[in-house]
Amino acid sequence: MRTLPAIAAVLTLGASIALTAPAFAHGDRDRLEQKRTEYEGGLNAPGAMSPNVNLVDSNPGSVGISGCFMRTAPLFVMSGLDSVVVHDVSNPLDPQRVGTLPSLQFENEAMNCGERKVGKTTQRFALIGVDLYQASPSDIEHINDPARGDYELIIVDVTDPAAPRIRSRVPSTTSTHTVSCVVDTDCRYVYSAGDDSQVPGQGSFSIFDLTDLDKPVEVDSDPATAGIQPFRSDAVGWGGHKWNFDGAGRGVHTGAGGSYVFDVSDPVAPVEIANTGAAGDSSREGMTNGYNNFIHHNSFHPNAAAFRPDAAPSLANGNVLLVTEEDYEDPDCSTAGSFQTWHVKRMDGSEGSIVPLAKVELADLVTYPLPVGAFCSAHWFDYHQSGLVSVGFYGGGTQIIDVNDPLAPTSHGFAWFGASEVWDSYWVPVYNSRGVATGKKTNLAYSVDLVRGLDVLAVDVDGDQVGATPDPTLLPGGSGTELALVDAAPVGLLGLGAVLFAVRRRRLLPHD
C-alpha cells in the first residue's frame, strides 16, 4: 500500500487547492474569498426580499455547490468544495447535519441521488462527478489531480446517513462534469455530461452500468472497436452539461449545442427524437440569436407524460421545455445568462423541432437594482407543480419565476443577500408518513450558496392559502406553531449598487 505517499498527496493537493487559486470551471478562488470576507464582515443579512418570500433558516459552515433529495427517505445530500454532507430533513424547516464525508472535490456541480432495492434493503447513494479534482482521506489510494483532468464517477453510499462512505468509482472516457441517474428510484444506469474529447467537434457522452454498485462499469457503444466507445449526442457541441429525465421514458441533454430530447426507454440505446437545432446551438458559426451565447445548462419538461405534438404551447399540453442558459463569459448582470421557455412541437427526430418562446435575464425580472460587476447568470432551477420555478442566479440571488404563461415568464418573488452566490435552488418534496416523496413540492425552497451554505426560504405559492410562511403541516406534529422568521432589509438599504464583486473570465483547465 502507498499509504504515506497517498496521505502526502492528499495534503499536497488540498494545499494547492487552497493556496494557488486556480481558475476552475465556475469562477475562481479569488471571488469566493472576497465574498467570504464580505459575509464574515457583516453582509450576511437579507439585502432584499419580496414580501412573498421569507428566510426561515440558515445553515452556514459548508461551501455549497449542489444537492439532491432522496425519494424514499427524508434526506438531503449536499456537496461542497470540502465535503459531502447528509442532512435529515424530517423537519424541513430545520435541516440537521447527520453525516459528513470529508472530500475535496470540484466541481460535482449537480449532486445526483440514486436508490436501489437490493433484497429487502433500499441502498441509497449519491453520485459525484469528478472533472477537475477529488481527494478524500477515507479513500487515500485514489486521488484525482487537476493537472491530469481525471474524469471519474464516484458512488458515495449514504444508506447509513450518519456514515457516508465512498463505495466505488469508475473512470470515464468523457466529461463527468455532471452525472445523472436515468431512474432515481431504480438507478441502474447513469449518463455523463459528455464532451468532444474523443473526436474534436463531435459530441459524445458516457453511460455507466450500476448493476453491481461495488463494481460499476462504463458501457461500450461499439464493442467491435478497440477500447471503450462513448455514445453520440449533438447537444454537446464543444461541451455537454446535464441530463434531465422526465419520467416518461425520455431524457433531455443540454450543452453548448443546445437541448436535445432522447428516447431512453432502452437506457443503453438512446435515440434522439427532438432538438433545438440552430436556434439553440452556440457552436454554429454566425448563430447569435441570444438563446445560447455559451451553454444550455439544465432543463425540466413539466407534465411530460401529457405531451401533445403540434399543439399550442402550454404546461397542460406537456410541450413546454424549461431551460437555463448559462453565460459565464458575460460579467454584465443585465445580459449574463437567461431563463428560457421552449416549445416542443414534435418528437419525430426532425431538425429544429423545439423552438424558442421567451427568455428573461435577471434585469428583465426587475426585482431590485442590479449588482455592479457581479456575475448573475441563470443557473440551476427546480419546478413546482404550481407553475413556479426557483432559480439560482449566482450573485443575483434566488429568483422565483412564474411560467404558467410560457410565452411571458414573470417574476413571482426573490431573495438576495449581501454576500452570496446561489448556485442551486430546490423545492423541498412533500414526504408522506413513511418518509417517501409523494411527487408534490412544499412551499419551502432550499438555496445552496457557495458563500452562505444552505438557506431555507418560505414562498407564498398561489393557491395554497399558506402565504410566505411555512405550511403548518410541515411543522413537527403538524401543529402550526408560529416561527420567528428573519426580517428582510428594505430594497436599497444595504446599497446594492455599491457592492462590487470581482469577476474574472471563465478559464477551463485543459485536459490531456
Domains, the chain, ranges and CATH? 3-498 (2.130.10.10)
Cα torsion 291, 296, 301, 302 to 10°: value is: -70
Of residues 384, 399, 281, the one with CA closest to residue 333: 399
What digits encode the pLDDT tens for the residues 250-288? 999 999 999 999 999 999 999 999 999 999 998 766 555
So what's the pLDDT on residue 15? 43
So what's the pLDDT on residue 356? 96
pLDDT (average), residues 317-328: 94
> Residue 404: pLDDT above 90?
yes
Which amino acid appears at position 300 of this protein? F
pLDDT (average), residues 410-416: 95
> Residue 344: pLDDT above 90?
yes
Cα torsion 166, 168, 173, 175 to 10°: value is: -30
The proportion of the chain whose per-residue pLDDT surpasses 70, expressed as a percent, equals: 76
- What's the Rg (C-alpha) of the chain? 21
| 354 band by pLDDT with thresholds 50, 70 and 90 | very high
Average pLDDT score, the chain: 81
pLDDT (average), residues 141-148: 47
So what's the pLDDT on residue 370? 77
So what's the pLDDT on residue 39? 56
| 123 band by pLDDT with thresholds 50, 70 and 90 | very high
Of residues 52, 78, 34, 39, the one with CA closest to residue 415: 52
So what's the pLDDT on residue 38? 60
**Of the candidate ranges 265-274, 326-335, 448-457, 467-476, the one whose mean pLDDT is the lowest:** 467-476
pLDDT (average), residues 195-219: 92
> Residue 194: pLDDT above 90?
yes
| 11 band by pLDDT with thresholds 50, 70 and 90 | very low
| 335 band by pLDDT with thresholds 50, 70 and 90 | confident
Sign of torsion, CA 491 441 97 88? positive
Distances, alpha carbon 98 to alpha carbons 56, 76, 86, 88, 162, in Å: 20, 10, 6, 6, 5
So what's the pLDDT on residue 35? 60
| 467 band by pLDDT with thresholds 50, 70 and 90 | confident
Write down the pTM of the prediction. 0.85
> Residue 341: pLDDT above 60?
yes
Highest mean pLDDT among 12-16, 497-501, 506-510: 12-16
| 479 band by pLDDT with thresholds 50, 70 and 90 | very low
Tell me: cis bond preceding 107? Omega within 30 of 0 counts.
Answer: yes
> Residue 2: pLDDT above 50?
no
So what's the pLDDT on residue 185? 95
Comparing 206 with 480, the larger pLDDT belongs to 206
Q: How many CB atoms lie within 10 A of CB 197?
A: 18
> Residue 244: pLDDT above 80?
yes
Comparing 321 with 120, the larger pLDDT belongs to 321
So what's the pLDDT on residue 189? 98
Comparing 23 with 302, the larger pLDDT belongs to 302
So what's the pLDDT on residue 9? 41
Burial of 335 (0-12, 13-18, 19+ CB in 10 A): middle
What digits encode the pLDDT tens for the residues 42-82? 555 557 899 999 999 988 766 668 899 999 999 999 887 77
Q: Which three cell numbers stand for residue 223?
A: 464493442
> Residue 348: pLDDT above 60?
yes
| 417 band by pLDDT with thresholds 50, 70 and 90 | confident
So what's the pLDDT on residue 288? 57
Of residues 364, 496, 487, 360, the one with CA closest to residue 420: 496
So what's the pLDDT on residue 511? 34
> Residue 464: pLDDT above 50?
yes
pLDDT (average), residues 158-182: 95
Of residues 391, 396, 340, 392, the one with CA closest to residue 373: 396
Comparing 215 with 468, the larger pLDDT belongs to 215
| 455 band by pLDDT with thresholds 50, 70 and 90 | very high
